[in-house]
Amino acid sequence: MFKVFLAVIIALQLNAALAAQESTPIVLKSSQYLDVSSGKLVSPALLLIEGERISAVDLDSVPSNARLIDLGSRTLLPGVMDMHSHITLDYYSSDHWTTAAVMETPADWALHGASFGREMLEAGFTTVRDAGAFPGFPDVAVMRAIENGSIVGPRVFPAGHYISITGGHCDVTGFAPGIMEIGPKQGVADGKDELLKAIRYQAKHGVKVIKVCATAGVFSKGDSPGAQQYSDEELQVIVEEASRHGLKVMAHAHGSEGILAAVKAGVASIEHGSMMTEEIIREMKRRDTFYIPTIHLNDVPLPPETPQWTVDKNDFLKPYVENSFKMALEKGVNIALGSDAGVMPHRDARLEFYAMVKRGMSGLQAIQAATINSATLLGVDDRGEIKVGLLADIIAVDGNPLENIRVMENVSFVMKGGDVIKTPAADL
């Protein structure tokens, strides 16, 4: 009996000690932090973190009850965000990625998400918008596990199942009839009635965004990667129904007709946008539609075992992709960072910064694409800046990212919601 009593006392003391540690304010000290709105580096940096939020910026001194984390000459930035990731998919290291949909299960994909989500967080991505998963809502499961503290990862905005026409880019194709034939509950829907059912089912199971495949694509069968797949009317149904549930729509779209139709239907963002035109650019600016270029993909070799039809379509689109990015940047279209991680190593989402800068963006514009622009696209106002009252999602890099954007590829410190995830001793 005494041993039980003693064990209870020890447990209570340990819990009290942990609670006290969690409630201890943290001060982050470094040589400077970046005000991403103004583009100014503020020096020195002395930030007070209480709980999960930033409670003071530009402190004069360190409070006596605070824990000091001295990051030396590093630059502090708000945690960055990836608006097009696939944290449950592995298209780059698996030897069966072309058949993963029928060889793995939602449990496998959720486990991928637990691992890859942590990789992205440690690379500095404190928020990701997941752009679709295989059936079974593994991305929603990962989101919930992160939120309840079961696993460590970024804040996730899951899309759940892709919305696709039968046999379209986001349907599972290429197998014999009867193998993985899926319908509206798994996102494959044709016509108004099926689309309503598909989107309502998505909303029921906790998605935070709807992903529609408005055109054909590269990693699926078919000769034309840009062919429009949903009709104009069907796209409007998708956006209207999603809006009723408080959900924005992201549209995978390569070809010009499909991009324009999706923009006119009211989607929040165009993913890839490979074949832009002047008319599309004007319409996007008029509607404040975001463009997620995933431009680093143009620099990445295709995964092993890539079918020839994918190689051919990828080669066809490459020059169009370059021209579209240049046009969108010159015309001032809203741009947010998206990597398409999952097609490439997840930690390499960080390479998207340099990919945009080497094509004409300033370092500040690239960082804004991953911070304040991404927050605007998500419709959130609690992150994206180092500012009093916002979430303490903060990263540190060795150097000045405005002068050398490649320092964003080696994030040495990560804090998410006041929790220290990575310190300089654990560099990538």
pLDDT tens digits for 356-394?
999 999 999 999 999 999 999 999 999 999 999 999 999
pLDDT score recorded for residue 329: 98
Tens-digit pLDDT profile for residues 271-284: 999 999 999 999 99
**Dihedral sign, Cα of residue 75, residue 78, residue 81, residue 87:** positive
Tell me if the pTM is above 0.95. Answer: no
Concerning whether 232 is annotated as a catalytic residue, the answer is no
Task: Report whether pLDDT(248) > 60.
Answer: yes
The arrangement of strands across the sheet holding 53-56 comes to: 53-56, 45-50, 26-30, 67-70
Query: Nearest 5°: CA angle at 377, between 376 and 381?
Result: 35
- Checking if the pLDDT of 398 tops 60, the result is yes
Q: Mean pLDDT throughout 215-221?
A: 71
Average pLDDT over residues 277-301: 96
pLDDT for 223: 59
Quick one: pLDDT at residue 311? 82
Active-site annotation holder among 139, 340, 348, 393: 340
Q: What pLDDT, on a 0 to 100 scale, did the predictor assign at position 5?
A: 46
Asked if domains 20-78+386-426 and 80-378 share a fold, the reply is: no
**What mean pLDDT is reported for the chain?**
90
Q: Which CATH superfamily is domain 80-378 in?
A: Metal-dependent hydrolases (3.20.20.140)
211 among known catalytic residues: yes
pLDDT at 172 (0 to 100)? 80
What are the structural domain ranges in the chain?
20-78+386-426, 80-378
Residue 7 scores a pLDDT above 70: no
pLDDT over threshold 80, residue 216: no
pLDDT tens digits, one per residue of 167-214: 888 878 778 888 888 899 999 999 999 999 999 999 999 999 999 999
Q: Dump pLDDT digits (tens) for 303-335.
A: 767 778 778 878 888 899 999 999 999 999 999
Domain 20-78+386-426, classified CATH 2.30.40.10, yes or no: yes
Q: Reply yes or no on whether the pLDDT at 227 is more than 50.
A: yes
Q: Which is catalytic among the residues 82, 171, 208, 211?
A: 211
Q: How confident is the model at residue 17 (pLDDT cuts 50, 70, 90)?
A: very low
